[in-house]
């Protein structure tokens, strides 16, 4: 069965860095777009970054552009998010997600939550000022 398991969250002071990871299993990993989303109780879930099956970055949210980097390792079946220069507004539950379609079925990646069908439980990131 499809499983996505995040790790690496934690607490950090503003200006610091964190790297979170997602381990994928149960599907043909290198056939799918993958994404990081984040959510807080006050805000709707938003896409942070999206990456294509070959490693091309397809989307980076405006609020994290220049600070966050998404990457993947298809051999290790992992998805990473390097977060630098963190600010308190980055505090959220970060989840990795798999596109509901294989890349060949659509030809591009999307960045809205309904387009993703499998989700990890999330890892909490807390940034203090």
79-127 confidence digits (pLDDT tens) = 999 999 999 999 999 999 999 999 999 999 999 999 999 999 999 999 9
Cα–Cα nearest to 94, from 52, 27, 43, 33: 43
At 122, give phi and psi (nearest 5°): 100, 160
Q: Residue 36's closest CA among 129, 116, 127, 101?
A: 116
**What are the tens digits of pLDDT across the range 54-91?**
999 999 999 999 999 999 999 999 999 999 999 999 99
- Both structure tokens of 31: 């056939």
Q: Grade residue 47 by pLDDT with cuts at 50, 70 and 90.
A: very high
């Amino acid at each position: 069965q499809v499983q996505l398991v995040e790790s690496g969250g934690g607490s950090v002071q503003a200006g610091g860095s964190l790297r979170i990871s997602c381990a994928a299993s149960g599907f043909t990993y290198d056939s799918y777009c993958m994404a990081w989303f984040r959510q807080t109780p006050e805000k709707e879930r938003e896409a942070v970054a999206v990456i294509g099956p070959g490693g091309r970055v397809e989307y980076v949210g405006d609020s994290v552009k220049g600070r966050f980097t998404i990457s993947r390792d298809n051999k290790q079946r992992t998805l990473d998010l390097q977060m630098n220069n963190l600010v308190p507004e980055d505090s959220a539950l970060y989840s990795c997600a798999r596109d509901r379609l294989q890349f060949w079925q659509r030809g591009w990646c999307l960045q809205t939550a309904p387009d993703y069908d499998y989700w990890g439980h999330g890892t909490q990131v807390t940034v203090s000022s």
